[in-house]
Amino acid sequence: MRAVVFDLDGTLIDSLPDIATAVNRVLGWRGLLPLPAREIEGMIGDGAKVLLDRALAARGVVAGAADMDVFMDWYTEHGADETRPYPGVVEALAALRRAGHRLGVCTNKPAAAAREILASLGLDAFFDAVTGGDSTPYRKPDPRHLAATLAAMGAQEAVMVGDHFNDMAAAKGCGIPGIFAAWGYGTAAADYVAQNAFELPGLVAGLGLTGGEE
């Protein structure tokens, strides 16, 4: 099966408002001043633990296990309060499914949180597999994380769509094309760039991943 695998934060969904709120709840619990959302934006992409390490380091302290507990306790319940799909995402996913592609998510976010948010936003039905940062011993940019997603989907041919260096590096490591989502949080060099989600079906078709009848 031909597959299109997506990153989550900054690619499918604008999750910055809820992530920033969760980070600042941890900082407040620690008695520290909050960080601006745009500063937190640059810390996203390597999973919740690294995010908290970076946020607390910005306030001159070291993150601990209790910080993660505070973050996850709140975020698990409120991860979709203000989070929304980016414009064109629903239309692109529907078009790709109509073209016969299997769709997956490979994210460094914990898998339970990723699935909960996708369900809350009504996106879960599009995806055949979701692998999180705790689903395997590996995380993007390690290509074995993406390879696990492809294996779960039974994919023989695929493309990775993401907004971060980690996504493009994982795609390269798996020997598949990467499409950089220019609307997201990160930066990366890529052979293919989508300026908005509406462009994705055309870009995927141009790569020859024509799919097939479902």
Give residue 179's region: left, alpha or beta (phi > 0; psi -120 to 50): beta
CA contacts within 13 A on the Cβ side of 54: 15
Count how many residues are written for the chain. Answer: 214
Could you tell me the CA-to-CA distances from 79 to 26, 73, 102, 196 in Å, in that order?
Answer: 15, 10, 26, 23
Given 7, 18, 163, 167, which residue is catalytic? 7
| 7 part of the active site | yes
Q: Tokens standing for 63?
A: 């993150």
Q: What angle do CA 69, 70, 75 make, to 5 degrees?
A: 95
Could you tell me the CA-to-CA distances from 97 to 16, 43, 69, 136, 212 in Å, in that order?
Answer: 27, 32, 37, 26, 10
Q: Tokens standing for 182?
A: 């220019």
Could you tell me the CA-to-CA distances from 168 to 14, 146, 162 in Å, in that order?
Answer: 19, 11, 7
CB 80 within 8 A of CB 116: yes
Q: Using DSSP bridges, classify how beta strands 178-181 and 102-106 pair: parallel, antiparallel or unpaired.
A: unpaired
Active-site residues: which are they? 7
